[in-house]
Structure 1
Amino acid sequence: MLFEEYVTNQIGLPESDRLKYEALLPSSSELGRLICAFSNTNGGIIMLGMLSKNNKISVKGLSADFQVNVVLANAISKLSPAPSVQSGFVTYQEKQLFVIKVEKSDQTIAYNQTAYGIKSKKIYKLSQALGSDTNAGIILTNGKYTGLKNNHILQASGKSIFISYQWHHKVAANNLYAFLKANGYVPAMDDHQLTYKDSISTFMESIRASDFAVLIISDEYLKSENCMIEVLHVLKDRNSKNKILPIRHEDVKIFKTADRIKYVEFWKTQVKEREKMLDGIDPTNAIEELKKLRIAKQIHQDISDFLSGIADMITNTIEEQEKTAYQNIINFIEANKN
């Protein structure tokens, strides 16, 4: 039976210990634990783009903005030994789903050195946990996984942490990167990860695939299109509130409503300026400019909620974090490492 035909036959069945629906793309850690649990029990299917609520199942479709292969490959890279997984896009009712079929394993599979099972639709830890395995580094090839590695997929067993910063604060970002790397974590930032002809869009999706995102927030950061694009990628994660670890620069003022409104007004001005520049221009001759306009509109729409959320968090300055060896950040990561 073809993969798509098999999937179509499963759509609409109630969720169980072998079938899981997700309306949105889970984080790589959630996906990794679920694949691990299915592998260690009776196998199963994960359907992304399907909503199960109040015993009703509906087809929502998965947004094209989600590069699910990057998130999935990051989850798979932390599973040891490598599970048997088949995956791919399936069109159903004119909407696009992404389906992951997990086979039952003859060996105990561990995610980040911890083995999981599933019972009564709940994921639980097994008593047995495994160490890391060299078979963990894999990527998607024609719907299946191989033992090849990808430069943008984090391979180590430690927590993956993306560092988002504006170039004025590159020294602080480099210091944090070196500290995390020396202490067994897997940090990533554009200056360290990207090489000539690497895919920037794929790297940006790896932000969402990371377990945590440290944001070094400054006045320049909040006015930078590139930095705010990184923020937008983090906000796509439904668990973004627990994923974001903010560090503030002393020059940024966001704790009062009036201060936050200044950044909303800044991006409103950016939208107006880009609209004015495009006035009267044939859209087919201004594809890149239209893209920049859409980005500015998205930032303007989301920045108020983003800043309100950051203002509610207890944030230290860069200098305070360095003096305490980033203790607040490390404490949070360790308390949320599962």
Structure 2
Amino acid sequence: MSNYEQTVFISYAWGGEREEIVDQIDKALQKRGIKITRDKRDLEYKGSIKEFMERIGQGSSVIVVVSDKYLRSPNCMFELIEIAENKRFHDRIFPIVLADANIYDPVKRIEYVKYWEGKRSELAEAMKSLDPANLHGIRDDMDLYDRIRDNISGLSSVLKDMNALTPEMHKDSDFEVLYNAIDKRMKKKTAASTAKGQKSSKADKPKSADGGVSVNKIEIGGNVDGKIIIGNNNRIND
């Protein structure tokens, strides 16, 4: 398995309690041997933010720290949608839901949909004041707002159905449950990768014309009489 497949990413909104719990998760998992890839440490100066977010979206294991700010952030929502669109969303994410993330109340979830509808309408109105030729790049923002508006209700419903425990429970256990879940996922991926490699190795092994195994230019096989044949002319058990 490649190092990339074993990489653990974290998706979160900067600042406040959000940053504090991310630092705690980072420390707790690193001391157990799991390194987290996070933007503030692993996105180099002048590196592409979008490409880094796309990497998160492709990650096999992604810790998602869900907060009110996260659900209102274009970048965070881009990451969440990318994760979902790369399939196996439930298997690949490990959510930590903060108290201010209003995903458990349907009325509050509707407010998030309205928020993104409002952001889209605001941008659409502003775009009317410009010549279409001058909207290069702005249309990408509009497309993102459309994606978020169309997906936030469904994704927040999936998140609220997952037993994410409370931040306090995670802190009290020093994130032991989170570690165990990620470790289990990584071991499962390793086992699947090993099995796939062994299957591929067997499939690639060259065969001789009579069904024997070919080793370089020497063939070991058998004929219809049950005799072992080595090479073309040497026989054993005549």
Deviations 1:48-105 (A, max 9, x none): xxxxxxxxxxxxxxxxxxxxxxxxxxxxx34xxxxxxxxxxxxxxxxxxxxxxxxxxx
Whole-angstrom distance in 1 between the partners of 2:104 and 2:65 = 16
Matches within 5 A, 1:1-338: 77-78=2-3, 154=4, 159-168=6-15, 169-337=18-186, 338=188
The letter for the 2-side match of 1:251 is D
Structure 1 residue 284 displacement after superposition: 2.3
- Structure with the higher strand share, 1 or 2: 1
| Counterparts of 2:162 and 2:27, CA distance in 1 | 25
Most deviating of 185-194 and 304-313: 185-194
Q: TM-score, normalised by structure 1?
A: 0.52
More helix by share: 2
Three-state SS of the structure 1 residue aligned to 2:87 is coil
In 1, the alpha carbon distance for the partners of 2:108 and 2:183 equals 33
Say whether the 8 Å CA contact 1:163–1:177 is kept in structure 2.
no
Unaligned runs of 5+ in 2: 189-238
Other structure's SS at 2:103 match:
coil
Assess if the C-alpha contact under 8 Å between 1:321 and 1:327 holds in 2.
yes
Residue 267 of structure 1: how far off its partner (Å): 0.6
Cα distance in 1 between the residues matched to 2:41 and 2:168 = 22
Asked if 2 retains the 8 angstrom alpha-carbon contact of 1:283 and 1:290, the reply is no
Using the TM superposition, give the Cα deviation of residue 325 of structure 1 relative to its aligned residue in structure 2, in angstroms: 1.4
CA distance in 2, matches of 1:257, 1:175: 30
How many Å apart are 1:280 and its aligned residue? 4.3
For residues 99-132 of structure 1, the C-alpha deviation after alignment (integer angstroms, 9 at most, x for no partner) is: xxxxxxxxxxxxxxxxxxxxxxxxxxxxxxxxxx
Higher Cα radius of gyration: 2
Please give the per-residue CA displacement for 1:24-58, whole angstroms capped at 9, x wherever unaligned: xxxxxxxx5xxxxxxxxxxxxxxxxxxxxxxxxxx
Letter in 1 for 2:12: Y
Go from structure 1 to structure 2 and tell me whether the alpha carbon gap of 1:182 and 1:221 turns closer, same or farther (over 3 Å shift): same
Aligned residues: 185
Mark the runs of 5 or more structure 1 residues left unpaired by the alignment. Answer: 1-31, 33-76, 79-153
Percent identity over the alignment is 28
CA contact (8 A) 1:160 1:187 kept: yes
Whole-Å Cα distance in 1 between the matches of residues 91 and 143 of structure 2? Answer: 27
Q: For the residues of structure 2 that align with 1:267 and 1:314, how far apart are their CA atoms?
A: 26
TM-score by length of 2: 0.72
Preserved CA contact (<8 Å) 1:177 1:188: no
SS at match of 1:287: coil
For residues 58 and 147 of structure 2, the distance between their equivalents in structure 1, rounded to whole angstroms, comes to 21
Secondary structure (helix, strand or coil) at the match of 2:137 reads helix
Instruction: Write the distance in 1 (CA, Å) between the matches of 2:129 and 2:102.
Output: 38
CA distance 1:180–1:277, change in 2 (3 Å): same
Q: Residue 185 of structure 1 aligns to which amino acid in structure 2? A: I
Could you give the per-residue CA deviations for residues 145-182 of structure 1, whole angstroms, max 9, x where no partner exists? xxxxxxxxx4xx9x321111111211211221222222
Distance 2:35 2:132 in 1: 42
Cα deviation for residue 246 of structure 1 reads 0.8
Q: Partner of 2:231 in structure 1? A: none
2:7 alignment partner AA: S
Higher relative contact order (CA 8 A, sep 6+): 2
Distance 1:295 1:325 in 2: 36
